[in-house]
Amino acid sequence: MAIQITPSILNADLSRLADEVARIPSADWVHVDVMDNHFVPNLTIGLPVVESLAQATDLPIDTHLMIEDPDRWAPAYAEAGAGSVTFHAEAAKAPVRLARELRAKGARASMALKPATSVEPYADMLGELDMLLIMTVEPGFGGQKFLDACLPKIRRARELVSEAGLELWLQVDGGVSLETIGRCAEAGADVFVAGSAVYSAEDPDAVVEELRKLAT
Ligand code: DX5
Ligand code: ZN
């Protein structure tokens, strides 16, 4: 199980996006939070920015779509060059069909669960996914406090993945920091989003390396 660090650019200087991504060369992916002000009470960036960023960096792009109607909008992110596309279980009408469509377009298919959404109802469809994102804050904003109440779900998801013998990656997102990443890794996560912990630091790449060490 390889550890991967995927910094979120939500708390970066968005007027200098390519430069900000160049500050994290040790990252495995760059995590881009797309919010539509409907699924979550915040509005960020969308398809044209992902298209431009894909041209401007060699890092693969991990898009996290906090949007309504991902069945309609998510495939375009795969076409725009995102290596991984995450839609929310709570928003998707036909998650299996959508995951298959994302894979057919060449992206890794990923599904996210908000803190109050259980993993069990999705146990039988995990084989359709390349990654499961377990939110450890309510989605919508960076800089929130890590919810320890989500740790048992990470453990349950890891058990389901092991029992089924799947290659599925388990990503955590929200409040992941030097202080909390160890707990997430211990519970079974292997892909770690960190926004404010990375971009509030003087040397973001040093924090990426530090997080990796603490998760290993
Ligand atoms: C929150 C986003 C996160 C956010 C993480 O809804 O999905 O990716 O940027 O930021 P931190 O690490 O500051 O919680
Ligand atoms: Zn995110």
What is the token pair recorded at 198? 């990375």
Q: Where are the domains of the chain?
A: 4-215
Confirm whether 130 is a catalytic residue.
Answer: no
C-beta of 193 in contact with ligand 1 (< 6 A): yes
CA–CA distance, 169 with 186 (Å, rounded to integer): 15
Q: Is the CB of 172 under 6 A from ligand 1?
A: no
Contact predicate 115/137, CB 8 Å: yes
Residue 128 CA to ligand 1 centre (angstroms): 25
Which distant-in-sequence residues (6+ apart) come within 8 Å of 7 by Cβ? 24, 27, 30, 31, 193, 194, 195, 198, 199, 204, 208
Indicate which atom in ligand 1 lies nearest the CA of residue 144.
Answer: 14
Cα angle value 102/1/172 (rounded, 5°): 60
**Residue 33 falls in the annotated catalytic set:** yes
Q: Which one of 28, 62, 130, 173 is the catalytic residue? A: 173
Q: For residues 43 and 20, what is the distance between their CA atoms, to the nearest angstrom?
A: 20
* Fold of the 4-215 domain: TIM Barrel (3.20.20)
Q: How far is residue 34 from each of residues 52, 146, 163, 207, measured CA to CA in Å?
A: 14, 20, 32, 24
Task: Please tell me the distance between residue 32's alpha carbon and the centre of ligand 2 in angstroms.
Answer: 7
What is the predicted pLDDT for the residue at 151?
98
Element at 20 (helix H, strand E): helix 17-22
Q: How far is the CA of 167 from the centre of ligand 1 (A)?
A: 25
Residue nearest to atom 4 of ligand 1 (CA): 142
Q: Ligand 1 within 6 A of 7 CB?
A: no
Q: Quote the ligand 2 centre to 2 CA distance (angstroms).
A: 20
Whether this model's pTM surpasses 0.85: yes
- Spell out the per-residue pLDDT of the chain, length 216, in tens: 799 999 999 999 999 999 999 999 999 999 999 999 999 999 999 999 999 999 999 999 999 999 999 999 999 999 999 999 999 999 999 999 999 999 999 999 999 999 999 999 999 999 999 999 999 999 999 999 999 999 999 999 999 999 999 999 999 999 999 999 999 999 999 999 999 999 999 999 999 999 999 999
